[in-house]
Amino acid sequence: MQTNFDLSNYNTLAMPATAKMFIAINNHSELAAAMALSAWHDNRKIILGGGSNVFFAADYQGIVVHPQFLGKELIAETNESALIKFGAGEIWDDCVQFCVDHNYFGIENLSGIPGSMGAAPVQNIGAYGVELDSSFIKLDAINLTTGEEKTFTKDDCKFAYRNSIFKHELRDKFIITAVYLNLNKQFQPILTYSDLKDLSVTELSAQELRQKIISIRNSKLPKPTEIPNAGSFFKNPIISQELAHKLAQEYPHLPKFAYGDNKFKISAGWLIEQAGLKGYTHGTASTHSNHALVLTNSGRGTATQFAELIALVQEKVHTKFAVQLESEVRIIE
Ligand code: NAP
* pLDDT, tens digit only, all 333 positions of the chain: 999 999 999 999 999 999 999 999 999 999 999 999 999 999 999 999 999 999 999 999 999 999 999 999 999 999 999 999 999 999 999 999 999 999 999 999 999 999 999 999 999 999 999 999 999 999 999 999 999 999 999 999 999 999 999 999 999 999 999 999 999 999 999 999 999 988 887 889 999 999 999 999 999 999 999 999 999 999 999 999 999 999 999 999 999 999 988 999 999 999 999 999 999 999 999 999 999 999 999 999 989 999 999 999 999 999 999 999 999 999 999
Q: What is the pLDDT of residue 87?
A: 98
Task: Round to whole Å and give the CA distance between 173 and 150.
Answer: 12
The predicted structure's pLDDT at residue 299? 92
**How close is the Cα of 128 to the center of ligand 1, in Å?**
6
Q: Ligand 1 within 6 A of 193 CB?
A: yes
111 CA → ligand 1 middle, Å = 13
Query: Among this protein's residues, is 328 annotated catalytic?
Result: yes
Give nearest CA residue, ligand 1 atom 38.
232
Residue 257 beta carbon below 6 angstroms from any ligand 1 atom: yes
189 lines ligand 1 (CB under 6 A): no
CA contacts within 13 A on the Cβ side of 59: 10
Indicate whether this model's pTM tops 0.85.
yes
* Per-residue pLDDT, 119: 96
Look at residue 261 in the predicted model and tell me its pLDDT: 87
| CA 58, chain centre distance (Å) | 21
| Ligand 1 atom with the shortest distance to the CA of 128 | 32
**Which residue's CA is the closest to the ligand 1 atom numbered 32?**
127
Q: Which atom of ligand 1 is nearest to the CA of 192?
A: 18
Question: Ligand 1 centroid to 127 CA: how many Å?
Answer: 6
Q: How far apart are CA 181 and CA 155, in angstroms?
A: 14
CB distance 170 to ligand 1 below 6 Å: no
Q: Is the CB of 290 under 6 A from ligand 1?
A: no
162 catalytic, yes or no? yes
Residue 267 near ligand 1, beta carbon < 6 Å: yes
